[in-house]
Chain A
């Protein structure tokens, strides 16, 4: 059986929060992709991805972040990532994601980061 993966959506004012729960791999990455695409299609490009309940990520999951970030920033938004557990954060670090993405500890910190820097250059 595939390991479960769910994207929970909520909002914090004009920010959309996508909370990832479970295992994000090549099988489940399309679900995350659809969730981000739905936000963009809806004109919502200020996105917080909360990884507090993300237990596993492979490069297929990281690829979803890569493929959307320029489009989101071109539209004046950003993807801020928060709450990653150490096992997951390690993979972001190995691939140099902190140079490109804002990775912060908590959802509150992500909200604060949007207040300080709504978007950034790639």
Chain B
């Protein structure tokens, strides 16, 4: 029997003040998908990281732009897609963060992708010319 797929979408202006709203949205989706509390927290943080990257690096804090968070889940898997319209990057060139090196460089950034990869089952990225950049996060549901 095919499982029922549920879809939810949030559109927000590209501003860090909306990160809390995004986390609330993702938490609700995670709870509805049946994730355990600790996995809801991981999902919330991974999506926060993806959206903060989009807001700061892709859109340069331009709140006239929009970040879109699409969530889809069925009985087995939860997919989140974060869409921005900024300049894309090559995910393959982003090595895991070396915190000691970042400390020596007195950097405050560079941890987001490592956090996402640590918390999610899959992280992928696609640049769709003319249709935005999509960062995809996958969490398998233990049911």
Give A contacts to B, CB under 8 Å.
Answer: 1-3, 23, 25-27, 29, 33, 56, 58-60, 62-64, 66-71, 87, 91, 94-97, 99-100, 122
For A63, what are the chain B residues with a Cβ–Cβ distance below 8 Å? 107-111
A62 to B133, CA, bound (A): 26
Which residue of B has the minimal Cβ distance to A28? B16
Q: Is the CB of B108 within 8 A of A25?
A: no
* 21 pairs, A vs B, C-beta closer than 8 Å: A2-B17, A3-B23, A23-B20, A25-B23, A26-B55, A26-B56, A59-B52, A66-B111, A67-B108, A70-B104, A70-B106, A91-B45, A94-B118, A95-B99, A95-B114, A95-B115, A96-B99, A96-B100, A100-B100, A122-B100, A122-B104
The smallest C-beta distance from A47 to any residue of chain B, in angstroms, reads 16
Do the beta carbons of B99 and A25 come within 8 Å of each other?
Answer: no
The number of residues on chain B lying at the interface, defined by a beta carbon within 8 Å of a beta carbon of chain A, is 32
**CA of A94 to CA of B100 in the docked complex: distance in angstroms?**
14
B-chain residues with CB within 8 Å of residue A100 when the two chains form the complex: 99-100, 103
A64: chain B residues at CB < 8 Å are: 108
Q: Which residue of A lies closest to B112 (CB)?
A: A59
- State the main secondary structure of chain A at its contact with B: helix
Q: Cβ of B100 and Cβ of A99 under 8 Å apart?
A: yes
Q: CA separation between A97 and B36, bound complex, in Å?
A: 26
Docked CA distance A105–B29 (Å): 33
The answer to whether A25 and B111 touch across the interface, beta carbons within 8 angstroms, is: no
- Whole-angstrom distance from the CB of A122 to the nearest CB of chain B? 6
Asked if A27 and B17 make an inter-chain contact with CB atoms under 8 angstroms apart, the answer reads yes
* Given the contacts A27-B20, A59-B112, A95-B115, A66 and B102 also touching, CB distance less than 8 Å: yes
B123 interface residue (CB < 8 Å to A): no
Closest chain A residue to B111 by CB distance? A59
Closest Cβ neighbor of B117 among chain A residues: A94
Known A-B contacts A2-B19, A69-B103; the reply to A87 vs B41 at CB < 8 A is: yes
